[in-house]
Structure 1
């Protein structure tokens, strides 16, 4: 197991494109860190630098305190599992698992013992004499993981390993990967564009965008306290509603005005952030998760027309025409065209074209500054 430290790690490509921009990050020994972000954010570039398949332009990469910037892949004791299984079709499962050990010159008896132990760990023992063409997609991915684990690596890297599988298999293998990592205790960096994978797998989640690290924290903290509007908009399905707003202070306390509605902030929040009253009159961005909006019991904060409904059995996702234009989480100064306010609702069915009254859970209001950074 390895402790991995990235200090100002930067990768600039020959054409001037920035793959990673001054990343500072520590992966603790035995941790499962999930890196998530949109295409082109730098996830795969990060894995290539960790594996030694590419070299950083600037910055320092350390394994257990030792600088490894110039170490070749063989010396790093890193195992990498790809999106594609990359199994040898002419070899059995046993042969695929044994191949990296044979390449290292390990003795026949030791190979047999490690192959059988790894197969038992991954429930592959009944399949050892079969070839990849005889296996399902999930079984092939387990063989690919086994071929990496059999080497007993110090660092395990996984590059979107479940993206080729159907939804049911992805859910099953997510659980298997998490359980496997807990049993082996191998330091693991897992890359995905799927936020559900990120939030259910990781001890911590690192959110990347345009080569920059936007936030790294446990999944619950990422969801409850996003560092900026990008993280707020990327994590969560449907994503957080971002609306232009203004801080107000008066005899009724401190609140946030969105259009015609004034949403009072809880006293505990105001006491924690002493400067809020002095900031009255300033423009902010209010963030409302779909579940923080609910049917009004008495006087509604908003009365909105339902534009679309998604029925998911136990709940409905309601999309309403917003009271004010919703903002782009990547460019918070710009409004989104034809965007709807998302509401997660259980109970009574709602239909398109209906007008509904909504109230806001004031304890769940997020507040960002106009540039997108978190304010409270």
Structure 2
């Protein structure tokens, strides 16, 4: 089992923490199998090259498509595709397709070019039903076109029947997230946020405007590996988070740094915490909630198990109070009221992961531990 922690708060000790992720999926085609989310047409037109770590799309007598279902009820989306594809003949075309049905779709395709550098990255941004397309050849994103369509599926298209000069399309990475921006909230007016590269050099900044409680910042690419830094109105550095991978739609807050400890180590805020292998259908571990602040208490604390992406692991995970003798107290539940935690206070609790139905899988299960308080 693995676990990610997500924390909420609004009092000192103050710091930046991640409230939720905007990532829907990030596929680098290195798993050795094509994910079941994809619908391939024709079904034999795509293969995985484990040496190149690419998904190879080849021309067929029909067009070749790699599609996935468009997420419903998402007002904004960002699809970013990184590909190895340089057409050398006219008629060889490939790129992004936004698909509604057999008669209606939007195509944003790479074709033979006279320039010396190809567009190695393509991007489609959705706002409402409006799709806007960009491409990048290493000098930044260039705007190309925009159109309206209600999408049922999204993906990559390789067009026109095979001829000797046509190139295969090698997909290196396909990322879908909820936006092209991150948000950092719970900030006073006049505070500044800096988006920095992994070495700490600022590439963008934004100041909290009057009547606002945070800022939004556009990511130059997704994922973007870097740091976030918060400064007060006098330019004093208050908190820094990273380096880490950021995705569009990520929400970060500036607030209290409640911590969850297991075996005296804090759970990971940006990755996974491995809880062990399930024997006899159950894992049961004791953890501790800790308030490191020296002068502020956390009140109305509530702790719960949330779903991670499209995985079902949360359905098997539950929480219970400690009875004071290092044993679970009463029934397990998915949402646990924790009351108040004084400055530098600690509170033990229990987590149980229990198999509730027959399931076979070789990958770890994931879920999120969510904490709220005032």
TM-score when normalising by structure 1: 0.24
Structure whose residues are more often helix by fraction:
1
Write 1 or 2 for the structure with the bigger share of strand: 2
Which one has more relative contact order, counting CA pairs under 8 Å at least 6 apart? 2
